[in-house]
Structure 1
Amino acid sequence: MADDALTVTLQQKGPIPLDLTLSCAAGDVLALVGPSGSGKSTILRSIAGLYRPEVGRVSVGASTWLDTSRRIDWPPYRRRVGLVFQNYALFPHMTALANVAAALGHLPRQERSRRAGELLELVHLGDLHGRRPAELSGGQQQRVAVARALARDPDVLLLDEPFSAVDRVTRQRLYGELRELSRAFPIPILVVTHDFDEAARVANRMCLLDRGRILQTGTPRDVLARPASVQAARLVDLRNVFEARILSQDGPLTLLDWNGRTLQAARSEAHQAGAKVAWAIAGTQVLLSRTDLDQADSQPNRFSATIRDLVHLSESLAVTVVLDGPDAPVLSMTLPAHYARRTGLGPGSVVTVALMPEGIHVMTAEGEGPSDRG
């Protein structure tokens, strides 16, 4: 881990329960995601010194900002933190330039306007120095808030739901700008968001939280497609989660018995034959066809089904199908928007569903203990 990494350990029973340890290396963008009340904003406030947990330690490199066991608790002004609030918290009576300059008290007065102008240029607001917040769009206000946060030359940048107040088009542009900033300022950056797609777009690491505990940390792709538990799968809204039993390990594959259906999944070394497990598959790993109906139910991972619902989104289709069989399981998938028009699909269409083996992720079933693991 880099010497200037951020490390955080927090523990308390309430009012927001916390029991976690996390780290973020310089140059990384770590997204904190989870439901309301999971402790995301409390973590940021604890790092910034705006909240004191019952037990905690916060350090950046060799500097320890908080260590309750040693009675160390630096006040906010001593912690080199750039903080962007959800509502941006700009001074309404000040211009964009003055808002940024207000955070440059550590520089000689004659240098503050010049540096504030440089930071506004960095966030693509070089021609809007003289405008007050009310004269700026939501995206422009967010950029001023980021410039002001960077004005402190921070060791850590913290962003609390920074994109929630802007429209979708502006949000897409701001995602790219945040990635640019992470390259220009190689410091630990923590972003709080409730939007998993947003986290995947801006962060190279994701921390999934629930009730003050970390359920999983990893790349956004791994957390979203390969959750560590059924609980994690539900939190990331992975809808295709089912139970099965391990039949055998066959070379690179694990064979599953799914209520009489045979599934081939990528090999899972963590479970023995006969173990009750849970398995999940992302909607993008579910394929749908109308041209091979005769092959359904005769080959592993191919099943006959009927479309129950089909919703047109901006660039894709959200499709729900019901598989044949007495248990009638429901699968959700995402298809290209043009697919339904080209194939004539609609509710009631009979189709074949194919599950990609490499997309099937096997987990320990709820209520199953370590004895089921290999």
Structure 2
Amino acid sequence: MTDHAGGPPPLAVEATGLVKHFTSGKKTTKAVDGVDLTIPHGSVFGLLGPNGAGKTTVVRMLATLLRPDGGTARVLGHDVVHDADAVRGAVGLTGQYASVDEDLTGTENLLMLARLYGFRGRAATQRVANLLEAFSLTDAGSRQVKTYSGGMRRRIDLAASLVLSPRVLFLDEPTTGLDPRSRNQVWDIVRVLVEDGATVLLTTQYLEEADQLADRIGVIDHGRLIAEGTSTELKRSVGQGAVDLRLADATQRAEAAAVVHRVLGTEPTLPTDPYALNARVPDDGAHLVAQVLPALGEAGIAVPEFSLGQPSLDEVFLTLTGEPLPADETNDGAAVEEEVAR
């Protein structure tokens, strides 16, 4: 696709100065405050932010579900306000909650969508069969969706958003609440989609997810994009190194964190693994690293694994926003849902 003969194809997503307000009573909140985005074709862009940062609102504006109050945005060269129908015909959206009908079977859900999108007869049934196979749901296709596990529901929801093979896919926290195995399955699906040429904008509450999937990551806080870059670039922006520890006894983690904080002078982060502990090494603190293990030994804390590497995305997030990313983030679009309902 080109804007003019011989010219380069448009970016998959391009936004400049996006603004969105929500009003409740006499109070007006600026949910998105001047966000700029540039997402090339065939890439994954991860959008990270604390609860209420504006991630879902950005996605809904780009998907034409909300009208921006300021700024401009184009998806595949189409303006999201003035050419909304063209945008809708080229994108897919998977929200934080399943959008399929739980009383229908997986096959019935996909077949209904296929027919709505213009597939007829054998073409519709073949498209549905292909999607069920691609998402490892063939055996479950004849069952009602309400009997599906959490991972299966997310997969059928993803399949529903791909009936029309969208060129741009918006995934709003697609793996929230999934077990590690189901989450890895969704990650594999995203990788295959990108290999086939799709562009993905992913919002997530999982730092590891952004690290694994995203070519570039944007950090949004209080409606503003406060940092953007590759995972490596963001990690380098907060320090030259990080200490990664694995403890022999998970009950000693709080004590170990206090020791590491005393030695390095930085606040350790606590990953979901109860035996793990990470801490950023300050730029002028390389000489302090050698003191960490002796100090832990003196405190009677056994450390079977110790490594020095880059800061984690947890450290990046804590440094940029002043708070850790919540372990279980809720929908930052409560006001958005209210707006859509109206």
- Which TM-score tier does this pair reach, normalised by the shorter chain? 0.5 to 0.7
User: Which of 92, 95, 108 pairs up with 1:98?
Assistant: 108
What is the DSSP-based 3-state SS (H/G/I as helix, E as strand, rest coil) of the residue aligned with 1:222? helix
Given that residues 320 and 330 in structure 1 are in contact (C-alpha distance below 8 angstroms), is that contact kept between their aligned partners in structure 2?
no
CA–CA distance in structure 2, aligned partners of residues 334 and 91 of structure 1: 39
- Which residue does 1:56 correspond to in 2? 71
Mark the structure with the bigger radius of gyration: 1
- Which residue does 2:265 correspond to in 1? 329
CA–CA distance in structure 1, aligned partners of residues 143 and 54 of structure 2: 36
User: Which of 191, 198, 209 pairs up with 2:209?
Assistant: 198
- Which residue does 2:171 correspond to in 1? 159
Provide Cα deviations, 1:187-218, integer angstroms capped at 9, x if missing partner.
22011112212211222211111122111111
1:148-227 matches, cutoff 5 A: 148-184=160-196, 186-223=197-234, 225-227=235-237
Return the letter of the residue paired with 2:299: G
1:1-374 matches, cutoff 5 A: 3-12=10-19, 14-15=21-22, 16-66=31-81, 72=82, 74-75=84-85, 78-104=88-114, 105-110=116-121, 111-184=123-196, 186-223=197-234, 225-227=235-237, 281-284=241-244, 310-311=252-253, 320-323=259-262, 329-330=265-266, 332=268, 348-349=299-300
Q: Which runs of 5+ in 2 are unaligned?
A: 1-7, 23-30, 278-292, 321-342
CA–CA distance in structure 2, aligned partners of residues 165 and 355 of structure 1: 30
Given that residues 100 and 160 in structure 2 are in contact (C-alpha distance below 8 angstroms), is that contact kept between their aligned partners in structure 1?
no
Return the letter of the residue paired with 2:265: P
CA–CA distance in structure 2, aligned partners of residues 358 and 197 of structure 1: 14
Given that residues 75 and 87 in structure 2 are in contact (C-alpha distance below 8 angstroms), is that contact kept between their aligned partners in structure 1?
no
Q: Which of the pair is proportionally richer in strand?
A: 1
TM-score relative to the length of structure 1: 0.62
Provide Cα deviations, 1:278-318, integer angstroms capped at 9, x if missing partner.
x574334x999xxxxxxxxxxxxxxxxxxxx9429xxxx97
- Which residue does 1:241 correspond to in 2? none
TM-score relative to the length of structure 2: 0.67
CA–CA distance in structure 1, aligned partners of residues 301 and 87 of structure 2: 64
How far did residue 6 of structure 1 move?
A: 1.5
CA–CA distance in structure 2, aligned partners of residues 217 and 124 of structure 1: 35
What is the DSSP-based 3-state SS (H/G/I as helix, E as strand, rest coil) of the residue aligned with 2:187? helix
Root-mean-square deviation (Å): 4.0
CA 33–347 in structure 1, closer or farther in 2 if over 3 Å, else same? farther
Q: Which of the pair is proportionally richer in helix?
A: 2
Given that residues 208 and 214 in structure 1 are in contact (C-alpha distance below 8 angstroms), is that contact kept between their aligned partners in structure 2?
yes
CA 320–41 in structure 1, closer or farther in 2 if over 3 Å, else same? farther
What is the DSSP-based 3-state SS (H/G/I as helix, E as strand, rest coil) of the residue aligned with 1:103? helix
CA 345–45 in structure 1, closer or farther in 2 if over 3 Å, else same? same
How far did residue 222 of structure 1 move?
A: 2.4
Count the aligned residue pairs: 273
Q: Which runs of 5+ in 1 are unaligned?
A: 67-71, 228-232, 234-278, 289-308, 367-374
Return the letter of the residue paired with 1:187: A
Matched residues, percent identical?
26
What is the DSSP-based 3-state SS (H/G/I as helix, E as strand, rest coil) of the residue aligned with 1:332? coil
CA–CA distance in structure 1, aligned partners of residues 246 and 178 of structure 2: 35
CA–CA distance in structure 2, aligned partners of residues 107 and 181 of structure 1: 22
Given that residues 84 and 158 in structure 1 are in contact (C-alpha distance below 8 angstroms), is that contact kept between their aligned partners in structure 2?
yes
CA–CA distance in structure 1, aligned partners of residues 154 and 141 of structure 2: 14
CA 126–349 in structure 1, closer or farther in 2 if over 3 Å, else same? same
How far did residue 331 of structure 1 move?
A: 5.8
CA–CA distance in structure 1, aligned partners of residues 11 and 112 of structure 2: 26
In terms of mean alpha carbon deviation, does 149-158 or 10-19 score higher? 10-19
